[in-house]
Chains A and B, each alone.
Chain A
């Protein structure tokens, strides 16, 4: 049972444009959400997070939106840069249950110059 899903396995975007990555979850107990970026042969790099008490969080070029009623979150990258080309994972956890992250399957982003 996949509790966190990223339905788009890949995304191609032009440099300077917006990248929008989507993530859906089924477990209503999830209350903390994170996005990670991963290059091949490296560990995931933390990008941005959001707790369920918020619906938006910004950090530089990255903004995460959370729609609890739809059990949906999205990551916006503006503007997209060639260095953003990587695999992006969303992850969710139940904070009172400790550090157990449930990951989506990932979205491969390609930013074209």
Chain B
């Protein structure tokens, strides 16, 4: 089975711009979660989508949003970029069902905001 894929792998933007990141989950997985990794805050949960609905949300401002399509692919959008948004953005997929539901991560998108 192919793993979780994320595009693009690297991105450079300037303050005030917006960005869209894409994630394709493992085939058959219906849950997609997004995480932000920074040196200062570590790995932090952004949100989870399951069957095109946001099921969980972390403590991030409304500039961070996402969506999921009927094929389970997901996009994450960050509007009005700030310098502090520079981070590795990780997507993880899982079946979304069952008592123990392991998340498998993609390689991440490295976003640099100048």
Q: Which positions in A face B, CB cutoff 8 Å?
A: 32, 34, 36, 41-46, 49, 51, 89, 91, 95, 97-106
Contacts and interface: CB of A to CB of B under 8 A. Distances in A.
B56 A100 contact: yes
B43 interface: yes
B45 A43 contact: no
Given A42-B108, A100-B58, A95 B100 contact: yes
Contacts of A51: 99-100
B42 A46 contact: no
A36 B108 CA distance: 15
A21 to B, nearest CB: 16
A43 B4 contact: yes
B48 interface: yes
Contacts of A44: 43, 90, 105
A43 B106 contact: yes
A36 to B, nearest CB: 7
Interface residues of B, number: 29
A89 B43 contact: yes
A98 B103 CA distance: 11
A81 to B, nearest CB: 22
A45 B108 CA distance: 12
Given A98-B56, A100-B56, A105-B42, A46 B50 contact: no
24 contacts: A34-B102, A41-B107, A41-B110, A43-B105, A43-B106, A46-B105, A51-B99, A89-B43, A95-B100, A98-B48, A99-B31, A99-B33, A99-B50, A99-B92, A99-B94, A99-B103, A100-B33, A100-B45, A100-B56, A101-B43, A101-B92, A102-B45, A103-B42, A105-B42
The 4 closest A-B pairs by CB, nearest first: A43-B105, A103-B43, A98-B56, A100-B56
B63 interface: no
B102 A100 contact: no
Nearest to B96: A99
